[in-house]
Chain A
Amino acid sequence: MNNIALGRYIPLNSPIHHLDPRTKIIGLILMMIAIFIPAGWFGYLLVGTAVFILTLLAKLKLSFLWRSMKPMLFMLVFLLVINLFIVREGDLWFSIGPFPIYSGAVFQTLYIVVRLMLMIVLTTVLTATTKPLELTLGIEDLLGPLKVIHVPAHEIAMMISIALRFIPTLIEETQRIMKAQASRGVDLEEGSFKEKVMAILSLIVPLFVSAFQHADDLANAMEARGYVPDQLRTRYKQLVMRGVDFLTLAVAVVLMVALIMMAWVL
């Protein structure tokens, strides 16, 4: 469990870590848009360079980025293969068995790979440099204006932060229940289908029971400390946009606009 890199916060002291979470969320959205603008190979080079500079600024190691990409690798390869065989544009280059491969397919496939990799790296930069709680606060503030149309921004943020808070607890509990059931002869790897179903039930039922227990206790603790869902609350952690935040956003906007221009010219 501790080897998963995707989505993990890395406590470092970098300029990206110190940015306001809202800057990072909006920046991510702008960059994502930029990635999807078809501005040819030069466009990708531009965005790629920007992303590369970002990872340097965030002090993230290449090995870490590679590990966060690993779980997505299978999907990436799968998409590639499908795409390679299905697209029939451009010149016919060669055939693999009965499958003809076209030049268009190769280029498109490469574009897809680059896009996906850039997206994964960008998302990783966001989650690796932003504490989950800050991310939640950022989302809450960004959703704030939508309260007018009855989007429960605060409640959503509260739910996310509580879910994040209890993930380690539930992981720990899962491991404990697995061990307890293994001591009762449960074997998740071997056994018939029926035995496997029982094995999974013996894990899931206790996990649900304890999750509900946590929820019940937590609700009591929150209410006892004066929490009323739809009542106005103040907030301890305040987000403050600084000059560097506006600068970062400006760069992201410029980048996106540049790509749109390039796409338009093409």
Chain B
Amino acid sequence: MEKVKVEDLCFAYDPNTPVIQSVSFTVEAGSYTTIIGHNGSGKSTIAKLMIGLLAAQSGKIWMDGLPLNEANIYEIRNRVGIVFQNPDNQFIGASVADDIAFGLENHQVQSDRMQAIIEDYAQRVGMQDFLNSEPTKLSGGQKQRVAIAGVLAMQPQMIIFDEATSMLDPQGKAEINDLIQEIHAQGDLTVISITHDIEEVAKSDHVIVLDQGRVVLDGHPDEILQHEAELIRLKLDIPFALKFRHELEKNGVSIHAGTTMEGMVAELCRLRSKS
């Protein structure tokens, strides 16, 4: 079943420089979809279009078959959460609890019911001991956890991560990536992750590659990541496992492993024990 359908979407801040040019794609319900492309390829613009923070000049977006328009915009925002790049600029409340509460207040959840909900979602992202902490006392990774809790508390059916780890240090990145994987594994949430991390792409169910506001590749990463020459031309990374496979081939060993490091190790071990 398709969760999102985008058809022939066009967007420009000024008519002479189009940012998004007839973009079409679909995202399956429950999938982990990645969107990649170099900076300026239009990735974040698509995210903002999908939740109606920007209005497209032409084209259509459907969420569960519901068209995105003036009348449905709030309903769609109820169903779709988004976590942005800058941890500081999306921390709205004065404390962790206040920030998680922000969305609940907007949804007019009864005041006396909020405390339990806040504690529950803080627990899910491992921030239960920081409920009264102010944002200045938290690391970037912790702030992003709070942002995720704030979004989860609104019980969305889909979450968009718009380069949610790109401003974090390696520990923060690892923390948040693991958390995203965990959230996706637990429920039937659809995840769209806008990322530069090619290893994350390799593990996803579906990848959409953007270049200059157009979809240039769209499919399963095992298939898409084979288009190496194309990826290099698009200024994108190649997964390490793939690069390593080519080096092995140069040394006379050809293997049929996927594009992840784990797959590579497993395949090499199998080869070794077989012989």
Contacts and interface: CB of A to CB of B under 8 A. Distances in A.
Given A218-B89, A221-B89, A226 B94 contact: no
B114 A236 contact: yes
A127 to B, nearest CB: 15
A25 B154 CA distance: 34
22 contacts: A131-B94, A217-B84, A218-B89, A220-B84, A223-B77, A224-B77, A224-B84, A225-B92, A225-B102, A225-B151, A226-B77, A226-B107, A227-B106, A228-B74, A233-B105, A233-B106, A234-B111, A236-B97, A236-B104, A237-B98, A237-B101, A238-B111
A107 B115 CA distance: 56
B69 to A, nearest CB: 16
Contacts of B82: 224
A162 B105 contact: no
Interface of B: 48, 51, 53, 74, 77-78, 81-82, 84, 86, 88-95, 97-98, 101-111, 114-115, 118, 135-136, 147, 150-151, 154
B97 to A, nearest CB: 7
Nearest to B104: A236
B111 A224 contact: no
A133 B94 contact: yes
Contacts of A161: 94
Contacts, number: 90
Given A220-B48, A225-B150, A228-B106, A236 B101 contact: yes
A256 B254 CA distance: 91
A231 B107 CA distance: 10
Nearest to A172: B136
Contact of A162 (B53, B86, B92, B109): B92
Interface in A190-231: 213-214, 217-218, 220-228, 231
A46 B151 CA distance: 54
A132 B136 CA distance: 15
Contacts of A220: 48, 53, 84
A234 B109 contact: yes
A42 to B, nearest CB: 43
A209 to B, nearest CB: 14
Contacts of B97: 236
Q: Which 10 A-B pairs have the closest CB atoms?
A: A217-B89, A236-B101, A221-B90, A226-B106, A225-B103, A133-B94, A233-B105, A168-B136, A224-B82, A236-B114
B146 to A, nearest CB: 12
A79 B269 CA distance: 85
A150 interface: no
Contact of B102 (A213, A227, A231): A227
B205 to A, nearest CB: 24
B243 to A, nearest CB: 35
Contact of A224 (B53, B104, B115): B53
